[in-house]
Each structure stands twice: as C-alpha cells, then as structure tokens.
C-alpha cells in the first residue's frame, strides 16, 4: 500500500531539502520518491495547507503505569496518547511497580508495545528498586535493549554510587539520565519556593535544590569523562550551569518539560492540583531562561514528562494530591505556543525529533529515497484547543482542556503503519 504526503514542507535542519516543498511517496515502509510538490497522488493522499514533515518526534520522558497501576494507564493507552500527540517513539521511565531493574522487566514492556505504531524505548533503573543503595543489573539490561538508565524522580543521593554508575556504563556504551534535585533541600516542598508559595502557605521547593545536584554531577562527569543527561531542567541557575559546562566541553545534555516553557508559578494562585508537577513550575525569570536555553541549544530536547494520575490521587486538597500531568497529546502545542516568537522552528523541531536520538546515541532519521519511513506531519501555525475527547490516555489530569494552542500534529508514519490525528 502506498501513501503520499502531498505538498509538505520538509523540516530537517542540516539537510539540503530543509525548507523545500515536496511530495513524499511511501511504499512498503520506505520512502520511494521525493518529487516536486503537487505532482504525486499515489495511494492514500494526505495534504493540507501549511503542513510540514519532519523526522518522527521522540519523547525522552514518559511514565506509563503498567505494571502496577494499570487503572491509571496501560502501555497501550500511553502509546495511543503518544501517536495522538505526533510522536513516533518514546522513552519509558522505569518507575513502574515493580521497577524495571532486570531484563525481564524490559521484555515485558517491549512485548506489550511490539505491535504498536509508536516505538517504545525502555530505560532501566540505575539502582536496585530505585533505592540508591546498590547498582541494578545495568549491563544485563543493556544487552536486553536498554540504552539509558535512570532512577527517574528519585535522584541518586549517594555520590559514591553515582560515580560507580558513571564509571561502569562507560565500559559498555550505556548512558545515564538524572533528575537533578538534592532531596534534603527539595523533597518536602509542594511548589516552587517563591511569592505564590508564601502567599498560599504551601511549602516551597527551592531552585537551589536543582542547582546543587547539577553542580555535583557536573563534577562527576568531569572526573569520569562519562556522558550524562539532565532531565526536566526547571530553573535559570540550572540552565546557566549546563551552558557553562557545555562551553567547557563536558559531555552533557539536557531537556525541559514542555509545561515549564508555557506557565510560571503564578498559576498556583488557583490552587488547581493539575498544576502540581515535578519539577515545579518556577518564576517568570526561570521560564524565560528556559526558553532562551532551548533557543541556543543549552537545553537539547523538549519532553512531555507525561505522568498519568487517576481522580483518586489527583483531585484532592493540593497538599495531598499526587505530582504530575499528562502531556503527550499536548506537548507540541504547548511548546510551540510558548516559544513561537522566541525559538526558531528549526530548533524546536530539532528538540522534538533529532536531539533526543543524539542523547541516546540512536541512528538519526533520514528523509531521502530508500530510507525507512519514520515521520511526523504537523501544522506549525494552526490554532486548536485541547478537548477531553482528543485525549487517548486513560487519565485526564491536565489543566489544558479548553486551552488554545498554536502548532498541531497531523499524522505519524512509522514503517508500513500511519495514523491520521483527528
């Protein structure tokens, strides 16, 4: 079966085709022709005003709830949410119940995702049980397909263990991802430490908790020489530390959660528990620094930090509510709306499609004849509002229902499968 993407603008930074209007023909899972715009109508035709096509988007930070909390979201639910948001590939965090700390845990997730359009990359734990006491079976998980290891939102507080982990994965080409927070400074807080927290009487998470852990881990990277990825940076100090480290030539990368680009902690005045997230929404100066960091490449990628929660855990008094919001279906619209006049579209698409693969050392996608098709079609300037019936996650914990965004995913193609987003 053939598929034609008609009259689409190719967005692939660094390619001679970047910015050109073309027809792309796909057959048997591969790109078979790239022709002048409007000249091909073979098989099913997808076309629309202002549409662009890029390599398939890749989300570096998603939480699905299987095994352990399937009532919140299964792997299939999560992958359905991913394709609805325009993603062809996602990285699953190991914070399931039980955690993914053995090859068998990887195999379970991989088997659940085997027939889906969206490819599932699976991260393994750094430490057994994500407890930060002893290393998990890193090499065995690497052999089973894990390319990155993380304890997700439980930072490795033991500096000796973190050093050993960095030393160990360097021997076989594995990579580490960390959520930078000094738990002794930040774990008791509910929201960002700032004026809204003071006025509301809620305990604050100081930005210094992020900065202290980034500073420690940068020293360890310099000591070991092992690459490290910082996940969901949220503060201007964090951006500054990573920018300086990159200028010094340290092998570090970083991402930012889409929601951190759009809103600041002033929304907490509403006491809406949907805004209770980790890392927390910080001040406006932090938000602007994150946008600048994304624009200049200090922050390599944008992630959804998709974290489904059911009503029983989310629609509670703010201090009792669980952290997190779903974000796969809205991530591109959120990021594009927040950055439209400040981050070039080439840089934003790089952050969604290319940089995440570089972070994991994966093969970079190609848009050329003979290449396997893994593409996202999107309308960068279309406006739309997120509605409840648009969601494919089993959970509904998002503050964005009814909110208008700019930038809408249109379709996802991977191999012989494609999905037209309604």
Number of domains in the chain: 2
Crossing angle (nearest 10°) for helices 284-295 and 236-247: 30
Whether the pLDDT of residue 150 is over 90: the answer is yes
Q: What is the CATH number of the domain that holds 32?
A: 2.30.40.10
Q: What is the CATH number of the domain that holds 318?
A: 3.20.20.140
Q: Are residues 47 and 61 in the same domain?
A: no
- 3-state SS, residue 30: strand
Whether the pLDDT of residue 125 is over 90: the answer is yes
**Cα separation of the two ends of the chain:** 21
Binned at pLDDT 50, 70 and 90, residue 201 comes out as confident
| Rg of the Cα atoms in the chain | 21
Residue 265 is predicted with a pLDDT of 96
Place of tokens 């549409």: 51
3-state helix, strand, coil in the chain (%, to 5): 35, 25, 40
Work out the average pLDDT over 28-50: 96
Q: Are residues 272 and 329 in the same domain?
A: yes
Structure confidence by residue, pLDDT tens digits, 210-252: 999 999 999 999 999 999 999 999 999 999 999 999 999 999 9
Domain containing 13: what range?
A: 2-52+369-420
Q: Are residues 335 and 351 in the same domain?
A: yes
Q: Are residues 129 and 262 in the same domain?
A: yes
CA dihedral of residues 291, 295, 298, 299 (deg, nearest 10): 60
User: Cβ of 194: how many Cβ atoms within 10 Å?
Assistant: 23
Q: What distance in Å separates the CA atoms of residue 40 and residue 60, rounded to the nearest whole number?
A: 35
The two tokens of residue 250 are: 């340290």
Whether the pLDDT of residue 131 is over 90: the answer is yes
Q: What distance in Å separates the CA atoms of residue 26 and residue 32, rounded to the nearest whole number?
A: 6
Q: Detail the DSSP E strand segments found in 93-234.
A: 119-122, 148-149, 175-178, 191-192, 204-205, 228-230
Whether the pLDDT of residue 185 is over 80: the answer is yes
Whether the pLDDT of residue 186 is over 90: the answer is no
Q: Are residues 318 and 390 in the same domain?
A: no
Binned at pLDDT 50, 70 and 90, residue 174 comes out as very high
Cβ contact 360:175 at 8 Å: yes
Structure confidence by residue, pLDDT tens digits, 54-86: 999 999 999 999 999 999 999 999 999 999 999
Helices (H), 85-158: 103-113, 138-143
What average pLDDT is seen over the chain? 97
The two tokens of residue 198 are: 């003071």
The two tokens of residue 183 are: 């738990």
Q: Mind spelling out the 3-state secondary structure of 24-66?
A: EEEECCEEEEEEECCCCCCCEEEECCCCEEEECEEEEEECCCC
Crossing angle (nearest 10°) for helices 75-84 and 103-113: 50
Last residue of a domain, one of 341, 360, 379: 360
DSSP symbol at 125: P
Residue 187 is predicted with a pLDDT of 75
Q: Are residues 210 and 107 in the same domain?
A: yes
Structure confidence by residue, pLDDT tens digits, 386-402: 999 999 999 999 999 99
Residue 384 burial by CB count (10 A; 0-12/13-18/19+): exposed, middle or buried?
middle
- 3-state SS, residue 410: strand
Q: What percent of the chain lies above the pLDDT cut of 70?
A: 100
Q: Are residues 124 and 183 in the same domain?
A: yes
Whether the pLDDT of residue 160 is over 90: the answer is yes
User: Cβ of 320: how many Cβ atoms within 10 Å?
Assistant: 11
The two tokens of residue 137 are: 């079976």
Structure confidence by residue, pLDDT tens digits, 297-354: 999 999 999 999 999 999 999 999 999 999 999 999 999 999 999 999 999 999 999 9
Q: Are residues 61 and 205 in the same domain?
A: yes
Last residue of a domain, one of 337, 360, 383: 360
Q: Are residues 74 and 93 in the same domain?
A: yes
Which has more confidence, 183 or 54?
54
User: Cβ of 255: how many Cβ atoms within 10 Å?
Assistant: 25
Binned at pLDDT 50, 70 and 90, residue 365 comes out as confident
Nearest Cα residue to 168 out of 212, 129, 127, 115: 127
Cβ contact 328:306 at 8 Å: yes
Q: Are residues 104 and 141 in the same domain?
A: yes
Last residue of a domain, one of 315, 341, 360: 360
Q: What distance in Å separates the CA atoms of residue 185 and residue 192, rounded to the nearest whole number?
A: 12
Burial 151-182 (b: 16+ CB within 10 A, else e): bbbbbbeeeebbbbbbebbeeeebbbbbbbbb
Q: Are residues 228 and 347 in the same domain?
A: yes
- Give the DSSP letter string of 292-351: HHHHTTSS-EEE--B----HHHHSS-GGGSPS-B--TTTHHHHHHHHHTTTS-HHHHHII
Residue 200 is predicted with a pLDDT of 83
Beta strand pairing call for 119-122 and 191-192:
unpaired
Residue 35 is predicted with a pLDDT of 97
HSE on the CB side for 71, CA within 13 Å? 4
Q: Are residues 379 and 344 in the same domain?
A: no
**pTM for this prediction:** 0.97
């Amino acid at each position: 079966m053939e598929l034609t993407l008609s009259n689409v603008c190719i967005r692939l930074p660094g390619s001679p085709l970047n910015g050109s209007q073309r027809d792309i023909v796909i057959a048997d899972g591969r790109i078979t022709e790239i022709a002048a715009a409007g000249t091909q109508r073979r098989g099913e035709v997808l076309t629309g005003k202002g549409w662009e096509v890029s390599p398939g988007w890749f989300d570096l930070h998603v939480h699905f709830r299987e095994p352990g909390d399937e009532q919140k979201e299964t792997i299939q639910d999560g992958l359905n949410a991913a394709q609805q948001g325009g993603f062809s590939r996602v990285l699953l965090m190991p914070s399931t119940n039980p955690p993914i700390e053995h090859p068998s845990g990887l195999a379970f997730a991989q088997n659940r995702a085997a027939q889906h359009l969206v490819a599932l990359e699976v991260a393994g734990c750094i430490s057994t049980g994500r407890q930060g006491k002893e290393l998990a079976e890193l090499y065995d998980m690497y052999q089973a397909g894990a390319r990155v290891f993380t304890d997700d939102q439980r930072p490795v507080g033991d500096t000796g263990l973190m050093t050993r982990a960095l030393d160990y994965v360097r021997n076989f080409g594995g990579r580490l991802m960390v959520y930078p927070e000094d738990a002794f400074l930040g774990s008791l807080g509910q929201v960002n430490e700032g004026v809204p927290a003071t006025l509301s009487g809620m305990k604050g998470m100081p930005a210094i908790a992020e900065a202290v852990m980034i500073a420690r881990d940068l020293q360890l990277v310099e000591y070991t020489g092992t690459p490290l990825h910082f996940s969901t940076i949220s503060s201007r100090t964090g951006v500054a530390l990573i920018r300086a480290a990159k200028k010094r030539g340290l092998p570090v990368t970083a991402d930012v959660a889409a929601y951190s680009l759009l809103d600041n902690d002033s929304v907490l005045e509403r006491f809406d528990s949907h805004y209770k997230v980790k890392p927390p929404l910080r001040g406006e100066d932090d938000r602007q620094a994150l946008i600048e960091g994304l624009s200049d490449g200090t922050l390599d990628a944008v992630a959804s930090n998709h974290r489904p929660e059911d009503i029983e855990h989310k629609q509670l008094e703010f201090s009792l509510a669980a952290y997190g919001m779903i974000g796969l279906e809205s991530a591109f619209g959120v990021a594009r709306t927040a950055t439209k006049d400040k981050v070039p579209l080439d840089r934003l698409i790089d952050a969604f499609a290319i940089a995440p693969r570089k972070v994991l050392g994966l093969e970079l996608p190609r848009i050329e004849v003979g290449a396997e098709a893994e593409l996202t079609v999107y309308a960068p300037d279309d406006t739309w509002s997120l509605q409840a019936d648009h969601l494919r996650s089993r959970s509904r914990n998002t503050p964005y229902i009814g909110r208008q965004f700019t930038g809408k995913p249109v379709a996802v193609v991977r191999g012989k499968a494609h999905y037209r987003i309604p």
